[in-house]
Amino acid sequence: MYRNIRIMNLPIILINFKSYKEATGDRALCLAEICEELSTRYKTTIAVVPQYIDLKEICRKVEIPVFAQHIDAIEKSGAYTGHVVAENLKEIGTTGTLINHSEKKLKLGEIEKCVEIARKNDLISVCCAAESEEAEAIARFNPDFIAIEPPELIGSGISVSTAKPEVVVNSIKNIQEVNPKIKVLCGAGISSGEDVRKALELGTCGVLVASAVVKASNPEKILEELVKAGLNI
């Protein structure tokens, strides 16, 4: 199982299952297995971000990175009904977590705490940022990755790498000035191989994608297109 950022080959394709029916229960496992097969075939990193209800089974049945969609700013397991605790995620084999997705926004203080908690539990942190100023602020917390995702483009089919390349470029610049070790992903509207190519050309190390793969009539076909673009084949 992947447990360390150093053994995750770049570029990375991170698939967010969100709460889509197409990626729930048996369908979630099926999609994760498709991701694993393509990851093995092309020797590249494809990571999945299932719903909480499917995390444990998927962690047990695939050997690609499995991320949670969120963690709460809670140090240890205990009496926290309805919360998501990093320590418990680590115990079931989770590799990392998203933090501050546009559909689960946090205050800066909460982001900082969540990054710290993820680090203490050896979970890879992928913090989402809507624009370059937020990216710069988050960079000061030293997460492993920052994903640039203007919320108005999420699910639009119009990628940020095409519609707002300056947001990506400015974000990378701001992040590197704070901590050049932080890796940057491109999200929001990624739906084609060309979107992936443009994202990498702008200086990112991968993409965060959701509906374009999860809701596709043929997820394997579109995912293979994204993988080939990322590998330039």
Taking the whole predicted model, whether its pTM rises above 0.75 is answered as yes
Q: How confident is the model at residue 152 (pLDDT cuts 50, 70, 90)?
A: low
Task: Name the amino acid, one letter, at 137.
Answer: A
Model pLDDT for residues 123-143, shown as the tens digit of each residue: 999 999 988 899 999 999 999
Annotated catalytic residue, options 70, 101, 112, 136: 101
Contact 67, 46 (CB under 8 A): no
- Is-contact 49 16, C-beta < 8 A? yes
166 has catalytic annotation = no
User: CA 206, CA 46: separation in Å to the nearest integer?
Assistant: 10
Q: Which of 137, 60, 129 is nearest to 95 (CA)?
A: 60
Please report which helix (H) or strand (E) contains residue 113, including its range: helix 108-120
**Which has the closest alpha carbon to 56: 47, 68, 43, 41?**
68
Is residue 116 annotated as a catalytic residue, yes or no?
no
The model's pLDDT over 35-72, given as tens digits with 9 standing for 90+, comes to: 999 999 999 999 999 999 999 999 999 999 999 999 99
Mean pLDDT of the chain: 90
pLDDT at residue 189, rounded to an integer: 76
The domains of the chain, with CATH numbers, are 5-231 (3.20.20.70)
Kindly name the residue from 112, 134, 136, 149 that is annotated as catalytic. Answer: 149
Q: How confident is the model at residue 74 (pLDDT cuts 50, 70, 90)?
A: very high
